[in-house]
Amino acid sequence: MLEQKEKPEQYHPALRPRRPSTLNSSQQSPHATHWWRCASQAQLQPSRRRCLLPPFWRPKAPKSKRYGSSARLHCPRAPPAFCIGSVVREHYLRDDIYCGAPFCKVCDVAAARLGSSTSTIIIVDTNVVLHQIDLLENPAIDDVVVLSVVLEEVKNKNLSVYNRLRALCSNSQRRFFVFSNEYHKDTYVKIESGETPNDRNDRAIRVAAQWYQNHLGSAVKVLLITNDRENKKKAIQDGIPAETVESYVRSLGQPALLDLIVQPPSEDVTMEDAEDLRPSKRKTIYPEHKPMSEITSGLHRGIYHQGKLRVNRYNPFEAYVGSESIGDEITVYGRANMNRAFDGDIVAVELLPQDRWQEEKSLAIANDEEEEEEDDVHLAPSSADDAPRVTNILQAGEKDATPSRPSGRVIGIIKRNWHSYCGSLDPMPMPAGEGGIAHALFVSKDRRIPKIRIQTRQLGNLLDKRIIVAVDSWDRLSRHPSGHYVVLIENDIDARPFSSQVLACLPPLPWSVSAEDIANPIRQDLRHLRVFSVDPPGCKDIDDALHCTLLPSGNFEVGVHIADVTNFVHPGTPLDDEAAQRGTSVYLVERRIDMLPKPLTEDICSLRSDVERLTFSVIWLVFFSGQAVDQSVLAVRIRLMDPLTTDLRNMNALAKKFQIDTETHDPLDIDGIQAQQKMLEPLIQTATAVGLCLDVTSSKALADSLDQAVGDDPYFNKLIRILATRCMTQAVYFCSGDLSPPEFFHYGLAAPVYTHFTSPIRRYADVIVHRLLAASLGICKLPDVFQDRPRLTGVADNLNYRHKNAQMASRASVELHTLIYFRKRPTDTEARILKIRSNGFIVFVPKYGIEGPVYLTSRGQKGGGEWIIDEQQQKIKKANGKVSYGVLETVRIHMEVKEPQPNRPKLELTLI
């Protein structure tokens, strides 16, 4: 949980003083001599409740020579029910904001970022940045002016793209320059009567392009890049050279760059004619999405239901949407009902008539030949967000039974979850000629993702190779979404070397505790304690350490010491921006991708032996019985040393006082949180089938029941715990202002409020918490992000995205090495049945920690009456009753790597 503090001026954030949004701070001269001011007035509407502005709000008139905007408020004396205020906003403009061109004869060229010999300077509009960021990141694109109006729009619309754009603008190896057009006297434009904000911003972009053209004269060509028909038309009318993205890229003479261009929504429209939106005569495949206004109204009236779409890993034609409004999951069958929604999208769903609920009476392991989907054997997923759901499978002959789970169809996408996907192209013949455009279908290795249509001029180079593709759009006239080939790492993991700007933020080596830190009265000196780490030999990024001292009273003093990373990672610096964007370190089988540079992770912040380090420490006074009676949170200075045997024995003696979860090794002396019966239905159903009684009234009761769940099979308890974990959704980071307190609960830990701070070297979430701690201890002031809830929410969203991607990358790394291991080692081994399906079952292989499908019928068949499912007993048996298989039973399987298509090997499991 990320805490957030309210600020007094929360009533009107628009009136809050702020500086110009710019990355090139050096272009803001401290010696400005000319200032202009433009003001606008807005009337606050009468209210029958209360005045919108509290009595204490009295913004002062702005001082002269001050950056940004300010405001004055006049609120006449009036009854509280009818208070009318007059707000005056003042916007300060300047004439000394430089253009960034090194050959300019007017501006100061000390901060110039553009090329000295360039023939063309390009100015991009907001939509070009939002949709073509992959192209802009290519080194072939340079000498780009990013206007502050564009930067602000991108920040408000897509924080991920905004961070990538900021990285480009701050990279000294690239020639991207931010021009503060909103604060220059010649480029600032006021919104006109009847003009929309978007039209005003487009006009501001054209005005800035015209200014650059006049300012630089014939020394260079200024080109506006836009795919907006009206914007391009008006620019040409004003005498501003303007081109579409594809037209400009073609002029560069690098055909490979054309593959990076995001294609328009309709396949009938080429990028060259992006403005010519002619109606298509093709057949409509998917219904049109409802407009957001209609969706919002339907959600309020209970007609539609909102939730996150989760596609079944084993059957990509079946998905689930968890709906709080009806208290159950809605099943969505088939691509048509999914209506172009991707796994992870936030969607609006309409319930189907009850007679159409759960039309597929038994759930099979999908292997649709038309789609040529592959069957994955993979690491066992750990939560409900990854694992396929258990649906109510009807027994043969129960055609008239009423399905218990509602079915629905997607009528709109509220928030997309598109990102980059790893996979390969469908085999296809090479087109005639060289360098022509080929239309190919990309198949993601994640079978939950539909095939993606791409255009490429590099078909010969891309066939039979793993590539990365990003989704651009999905037109309702197309069976497949459209995308483009990009050069990225799978799961959107940034493994690029840290830039020189980031490395410049690091203190020089060798580093030692400064005199300022030693003299700081807030930071206590605990170097007299015997502090040690328990990390394995060879570990370099050590961010936590312990001490355990036996006191004369017989009690213990226990301390947990966490590296003070925030002492070196300051808010708003390139180092902090990079860490916030990466979000987490990524651990692969033979590699670690760090969130922070190695001088920090392995030296300056690492709690290594025999060196002094700065930490945040939590110290408890603990009775010998294990009860903690006092707790302190401190900023301290420590020195690590090797532990004595006495220290380890003390820790071990104290640990024995706690009841430990045998699976997670976490203490269990915690109060329970009431469980949601619906959430645990799959677990209860399986437990009943195997004769196990579980108490699910609270998380504590469930934990006790799981401890007592034992059987003849040594893996029985582990399997039950796996099924229990999958009933729980994955924990996420959030801003406390976004949810109500009851939603803070962490069911798995049985904690009403939970956050963590123990790994700031590898988790940016812990850096956020450390800054809260530092502010509460008086070490430093609270950063501005904690007073900006939308921004903090964006940080939390990015952390969730990066955390999930890191998990997926780590899992994919293990799966890849598992595949390599079994390639030349066909193996027979034991497996346990986890789920029953109409044409087979899903098994878990304990020895290797993987799971996958085992077929009882030929591929593509759904059982055909040969096998009958007994849902009550969770068994599948032959119609003659001679052979049956039940959930959690042990079976022998054969594991072997096969390659049905070139460069697409997979591990197949077959029953022995």
pLDDT score of 144: 93
- How far apart, in whole angstroms, are the C-alpha atoms of residue 532 and residue 640? 5
Q: Starting from the edge strand earliest in sequence, which strands make up the sheet with 556-563, in order? A: 523-525, 628-639, 612-622, 556-563, 544-550
- How far apart, in whole angstroms, are the C-alpha atoms of residue 706 and residue 698? 12
Q: What is the mean pLDDT of residues 276-282?
A: 43
| Residues found in the chain | 912
Q: What is the mean pLDDT of residues 215-231?
A: 89
Higher pLDDT: 410 or 324? It is 410
- How far apart, in whole angstroms, are the C-alpha atoms of residue 456 and residue 489? 19
> Closest Cα to residue 446, out of 472, 474, 417, 473?
417
List the beta bridge partners of residue 322.
Answer: 329
Cα 658 off chain centre by:
36
Half-sphere exposure of 25 (CA within 13 A, CB side): 4
- How far apart, in whole angstroms, are the C-alpha atoms of residue 760 and residue 793? 19
**Within 10 A of 538 (CB to CB), how many other CB atoms are there?**
5
Domains of the chain: 99-258 (3.40.50.1010), 265-282+420-492 (2.40.50.700), 292-415 (2.40.50.690), 497-664+756-821 (no CATH), 825-911 (2.40.50.140)
**Within 10 A of 253 (CB to CB), how many other CB atoms are there?**
8
Query: What is residue 267's three-state secondary structure?
Result: coil
Residue 90 is inside which H or E element, if any? strand 86-94
- How far apart, in whole angstroms, are the C-alpha atoms of residue 708 and residue 845? 23
Half-sphere exposure of 100 (CA within 13 A, CB side): 26
% of residues, the chain, pLDDT over 70: 74
- Alpha helices (H) along 258-366: 292-301, 334-338
- How far apart, in whole angstroms, are the C-alpha atoms of residue 442 and residue 851? 25
* pLDDT (tens digit per residue) in 361-389: 445 555 544 344 335 666 666 555 555 45
Amino acid identity at 182: E
* Token representation of residue 184: 């220059």
Q: Starting from the edge strand earliest in sequence, which strands make up the sheet with 35-43, in order? A: 35-43, 86-94, 69-74
Phi-psi category of 699—alpha, beta or left, where left has phi over 0 and alpha has psi -120 to 50?
Answer: alpha
DSSP track, 344-356? T-EEEEEEPPGGG
Higher pLDDT: 5 or 733? It is 733
* pLDDT (tens digit per residue) in 731-790: 788 887 777 777 777 766 667 777 888 889 999 999 999 999 888 888 888 888 888 888
Residue 883 pLDDT greater than 60, yes or no: yes
List the beta bridge partners of residue 667.
Answer: 660
> Closest Cα to residue 31, out of 92, 94, 90, 91?
94
Of 21-30, 206-215, 398-407, 670-679, the poorest mean pLDDT is in: 21-30
- How far apart, in whole angstroms, are the C-alpha atoms of residue 781 and residue 572? 14
- How far apart, in whole angstroms, are the C-alpha atoms of residue 132 and residue 144? 13
- How far apart, in whole angstroms, are the C-alpha atoms of residue 313 and residue 329? 16
- How far apart, in whole angstroms, are the C-alpha atoms of residue 274 and residue 33? 45
At 263, the pLDDT band (50, 70, 90 cuts) reads low
- How far apart, in whole angstroms, are the C-alpha atoms of residue 657 and residue 624? 8
CA-CA-CA-CA torsion for 247, 251, 256, 262, nearest 10 degrees?
A: -20
Please answer whether residues 828 and 813 qualify as being in contact, where contact means their C-beta atoms are separated by less than 8 angstroms: no
Residue 57 pLDDT greater than 70, yes or no: no
pTM of the model: 0.57
* Token representation of residue 585: 């370190």
**Interior/surface letters 371-380, b for 16+ CB within 10 angstroms, e for the rest:** eebebbbbbb
Please answer whether residues 383 and 728 qualify as being in contact, where contact means their C-beta atoms are separated by less than 8 angstroms: yes
- How far apart, in whole angstroms, are the C-alpha atoms of residue 136 and residue 132? 6
- How far apart, in whole angstroms, are the C-alpha atoms of residue 556 and residue 419? 50
Cα 908 off chain centre by:
32
* Token representation of residue 141: 């694109």
**Within 10 A of 107 (CB to CB), how many other CB atoms are there?**
18
- As a whole number of angstroms, the longest Cα–Cα distance in the chain is 95
Query: What is residue 148's three-state secondary structure?
Result: helix
List the beta bridge partners of residue 550.
Answer: 556
Question: Residue 25 carries which DSSP code?
Answer: G
The residues near 169 (Cβ < 8 Å, ≥ 6 apart) are 23, 24, 146, 176, 177, 178
Please answer whether residues 430 and 460 qualify as being in contact, where contact means their C-beta atoms are separated by less than 8 angstroms: yes
Question: Residue 869 carries which DSSP code?
Answer: E
What are the backbone dihedrals phi and psi of residue 911, each rounded to the nearest 5 degrees, phi first?
-75, 135
- How far apart, in whole angstroms, are the C-alpha atoms of residue 534 and residue 543? 11
pLDDT score of 85: 57
Please answer whether residues 588 and 816 qualify as being in contact, where contact means their C-beta atoms are separated by less than 8 angstroms: no
**How does the average pLDDT of the chain come out, rounded?**
76
What are the backbone dihedrals phi and psi of residue 128, each rounded to the nearest 5 degrees, phi first?
-65, -45
Residue 726 pLDDT greater than 90, yes or no: no
Of 40-49, 242-251, 595-604, 721-730, the poorest mean pLDDT is in: 40-49
Residue 881 pLDDT greater than 80, yes or no: no
Summary count for the chain: helices (H), strands (E): 20, 34
* Token representation of residue 108: 């100061």
- How far apart, in whole angstroms, are the C-alpha atoms of residue 778 and residue 797? 28
Higher pLDDT: 676 or 330? It is 330
- How far apart, in whole angstroms, are the C-alpha atoms of residue 622 and residue 603? 32
* pLDDT (tens digit per residue) in 583-620: 999 888 878 889 999 999 888 988 888 888 888 888 88
* pLDDT (tens digit per residue) in 822-841: 888 888 999 988 888 878 88
Residue with tokens 């380090």: 613
pLDDT score of 749: 66
At 897, the pLDDT band (50, 70, 90 cuts) reads confident
Cα 185 off chain centre by:
39
- How far apart, in whole angstroms, are the C-alpha atoms of residue 362 and residue 514? 68
